[in-house]
Chains A and B, each alone.
Chain A
Amino acid sequence: MKKLASVAAVSAIAMGLSAGAQAEETLDSVKSKGFVQCGVSTGLPGFSNPDEKGNWQGLDVDVCRAVAAAVLGDASKVKYIPLTAKERFTALQSGEIDILSRNTTWTQTRDTKLGLNFAGVNYYDGQGYMVSKSLGVKSALELDGAAVCIQSGTTTELNLSDYFREHKMSYTPVVFDTSDQTVKGFEAGRCDVLTSDQSQLYALRIKLADPSSAMVLPEVISKEPLGPVVRQGDDQWFNIVKWSLNAMINAEELGLTSANADEMSKSSTNPGIKRLVGKEGPKGEGLGLNDDWAFQIIKQVGNYGEAFERNVGTGSPLKISRGNNALWSKGGFLYAPPMR
């Protein structure tokens, strides 16, 4: 048995090496295929889900579209591969996809041991609490003795116990199997508090009969930076994905939107904007792309703020506030290196 395992491990490593050798040419293979292969979720509200017409939409999907716009000049040239949580890394390692954009938390193990690289963060998530407004609670520190609804078998459970122990409070866990059951339990009054990742809390809230009766508390008790992932060993492709995301964030900072991109690129005298749209500065040379790569992203996909509001913010039913995902200049964490 041991021998079998070592044979399997050796062949897996050999495969990994050959995959690494291929990975050098992701940009070339994408250009010759004419589309970007992008791994997304099988359905996560606001991040990646199919609409009525079968088009994929969401914040994670917009990262794929931005890369397609930068590389191929057309944001629609993406082949979406829906992946479950278990198969996502294999799909990337085996070359089935070029980018994994599937609300994946950036952790040390994933970044260092799997032969993968995280190209940035497109959503700062974290575990939070939702309470009924009638409870009159304003902070998670008032939750001593509360009954808490959780979904079983997730890290959520561990974070919850850490938080309550750290603050010397007690709680009664009420465990459910699926998110639908968790919401039903919360609605039926089996618990006072529902805990989950913040991005999910807003989606769960819509499932309540009266969504306005519940509120999400401000405390965030865990760090879940979500971002796009690429294969290790192909620095050019890694740079392209990283800077596609940076271009979206920088565009928001400079006030460049999909609506005014045409006009601003012609008339603006702001040097930052001129560099972003490829009139001056580093242009596309270092990335191996056309000079207007960032302009195409903004024109076709929009800046980060637009993507956020359209998919999860005020323009969507989820109504998630910017919070940590605001620009650094507005109290959030989003800070993209300058493009010069």
Chain B
Amino acid sequence: MIVNDNKIPDMPPPASTVGAVGWLRKNLFSSWANSILTVVVGYIVISNLIPLIDWVFLTSDWLGDSREDCTSGGACWVFITVRLEQFIYGFYPESEYWRINTIFVMLAGLIAALIFEGTPKKGWLGAFTLLIFPIIAFYLLYGGAFDLEVVETHKWGGLSLTLVLACVGIVASLPFGVLLALGRRSNMPIVRSLSTAFIEIWRGVPLISVLFMASVMLPLFVSGETSMDKLLRALIGITMFQSAYMAEVIRGGLQAIPKGQYEAAMALGLNYWKSMGLIILPQALKLMIPGIVNTFIALFKDTSLVLIIGLFDLLAIVQAALSDPKWLGYSVEGYVFVAFVFWIFCFSMSRYSQALERKLHTGHGAR
């Protein structure tokens, strides 16, 4: 009897199911309908992408100092490069740019250290970032201490102002939001009704009207002597508004925690603040990361609304630059630039939140 002990080697899979061809067949041409869709969509994408790439890169002008340097017919990035400093620093005096740069570098360093896994004493570093760093940043930006020249807030602008608005809004609205959410779920009637009223009033009005109230109505009710800084008014308005939203996101998280957790905390003899701080909030905040980051991203984009009260954030300063008679007619380049910068920041926030979710995922997902 002849038995072939050797296993017949596996045949390679059919060429049409592996590699690029296989992927295409499986994902793009799996049926007639899908094939037609692929061809049509592919045609639309390519026919738009080629002129777009051509406009953005191939026939665009990058270097120069006036509109005469834009000769290639594509995008005129000269408009952006000539005014890049203004778009980043606003009307900040040129000799003081180093102060903003220092803050940028410190902020980037701190965030990087907080993201990096192996950083020692992260708790202290986090506390430093949230409590000490804002004070340093304020004195660097505004001056008035350590022999630094005072730079008034009406000279702030551009990307740095956008970041100030967003960072203050984000950092301040989270603790307020937590307190409001706890207040709304509290058993104490006065605390509960005050929190509920605060949340419902601020959430019930559009941000634009909050900013208008802050910039148009408020000065009429306080005398000229004690007039509050316009930027400060806007910051308070944005913080109040975002706290209300944040409170509702966090309340959702608190409600998702099973009652057993509250009861277990009480059974351990923990008081209210300890049970919240040690048991409930750590779980609730973790659950709420997507919602919280969603609110942060919305806040970051909402900061551009301050242009209606005459603060020059990134979008407003680009619009102001577009009104320079020497550069009339380059609005497309300006808006593309603004959109690109906003996208970079929002996308980074979104990626960071996803990384955070993976890191904090400790296996309660089955619930």
Contacts and interface: CB of A to CB of B under 8 A. Distances in A.
Contacts of B94: 53
A206 B227 contact: no
Nearest to A29: B224
Interface in A202-261: 203, 206-208
A51 interface: yes
Given A52-B82, A84-B309, A90-B220, A46 B325 contact: yes
Interface in A22-46: 22, 42-46
Interface string B196-222: 000000000000000010011101110
A319 to B, nearest CB: 10
Contacts of B326: 51, 317
B192 interface: no
A285 interface: no
Contacts of B217: 90
Nearest to A55: B91
Contact of B227 (A52, A87, A96): A96
A289 interface: no
Contacts of B325: 45-46, 49, 203, 206, 312, 316-318
Given A15-B220, A42-B319, A52-B86, A203 B310 contact: no
Range class of the B interface residue count: 35 or more
A203 B230 CA distance: 30
Most buried by A among B82, B217, B319: B217
Contact of A90 (B83, B90, B152, B219): B219
Most buried by B among A44, A52, A81, A83: A52
Contacts of A45: 323-325, 328
B35 interface: no
B244 interface: no
Interface string A71-93: 00000000111111011001101
Contact of B90 (A43, A54, A83, A87): A54
Say whether chain B's binding surface is mostly helix, strand, loop, or mixed.
helix
Interface string A118-131: 00000000000000
B324 A87 contact: no
Contact of B224 (A22, A54, A81): A22
Interface string B304-339: 000111101000110111111110110100000000
A83 B321 CA distance: 15
A50 interface: yes
Contact of A82 (B86, B221, B227, B312): B312
B308 A43 contact: no
B94 to A, nearest CB: 8
Nearest to A18: B223
Most buried by B among A43, A180, A208: A43
B122 interface: no
Contacts of B216: 86-87, 90
A95 interface: yes
A268 interface: no
Contacts of B308: 84, 86
Contact of A43 (B82, B220, B225, B322): B322
Contacts of B223: 15, 18-19, 22
Contacts of B321: 43, 49-50
Given A82-B312, A317-B326, A49 B221 contact: no
Given A49-B324, A87-B215, A317-B326, A81 B331 contact: no
Contacts of B230: 96
A12 interface: yes
Contacts of B220: 12, 15, 90, 93-94
B316 A42 contact: yes
A19 B221 CA distance: 11
Contacts of B320: 42-43, 49-50, 82
A203 B331 CA distance: 13
Contacts of B310: 42, 81-84, 87
B26 interface: no
Interface in B33-51: none
Given A44-B323, A86-B308, A203-B325, 9 more contacts: A42-B312, A46-B325, A49-B321, A49-B324, A50-B320, A51-B324, A52-B324, A53-B86, A84-B310
Q: Lowest 8 CB-CB distances: which A-B pairs, in order?
A: A95-B224, A43-B323, A43-B320, A94-B219, A207-B329, A206-B328, A49-B323, A54-B91
26 contacts: A11-B221, A12-B220, A19-B224, A43-B319, A44-B323, A46-B325, A49-B323, A49-B325, A50-B317, A54-B90, A79-B152, A81-B310, A82-B310, A82-B320, A84-B308, A86-B308, A87-B310, A90-B219, A94-B219, A96-B219, A96-B227, A180-B331, A206-B325, A312-B325, A316-B325, A318-B325
Interface of B: 82-83, 86, 90-91, 94, 152, 154, 212, 215-217, 219-221, 223-225, 227, 230, 307-310, 312, 316-317, 319-326, 328-329, 331
Interface of A: 11-12, 15, 18-19, 22, 42-46, 49-54, 79-84, 86-87, 90-91, 93-96, 180, 203, 206-208, 312, 316-318
